[in-house]
């Protein structure tokens, strides 16, 4: 369902909302699915799904999976849609 919401309503504000409202609590409750689902999103090459792999953890604070979080940031570092320098 989360994938559908992200893909079918793709724009900056809607994807950010879905990532916060749906993905954030889901992955907080289902930690074992974080890497499995988000790896699929990264491999999809959809900028919207890839964006969600980073956004869902933004308010996790000390519960952030730093290894996963930074791995995705590094993987997306050359994408101008995310980090324009």
pLDDT digits (tens, 9 = 90+) for 61-84: 999 999 999 999 999 988 877 665
What is the count of structural domains for the chain?
A: 1
Residue 42 is assigned to a structural domain of this protein:
yes
Choose among 17, 6, 76: nearest CA to 48.
6
**Chain Cα centroid distance, residue 47:** 10
DSSP 77: T
Residue 3 is assigned to a structural domain of this protein:
no
pTM: 0.88
Segments forming the whole domain that contains residue 41: 15-76
For 33-57, what is each residue's pLDDT tens digit? 999 999 999 999 899 999 999 999 9
Residue 33 is assigned to a structural domain of this protein:
yes
Q: Taking residues 21-34, what's their average pLDDT?
A: 95
Residue 5 is assigned to a structural domain of this protein:
no
Residue 8 is assigned to a structural domain of this protein:
no
Give the whole-angstrom CA distance, residue 81 versus residue 53.
14
């Amino acid at each position: 369902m989360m994938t559908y919401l992200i893909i079918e309503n793709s724009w900056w504000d809607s994807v950010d909302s879905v990532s916060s409202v749906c993905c954030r609590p889901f992955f907080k409750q289902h930690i074992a699915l974080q890497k499995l689902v988000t790896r699929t999103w990264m491999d999809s090459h959809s900028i919207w799904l890839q964006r969600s792999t980073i956004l869902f953890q933004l308010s996790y604070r000390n519960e952030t999976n730093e290894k996963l979080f930074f791995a995705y940031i590094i993987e997306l570092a050359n994408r101008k849609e995310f980090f324009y320098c």
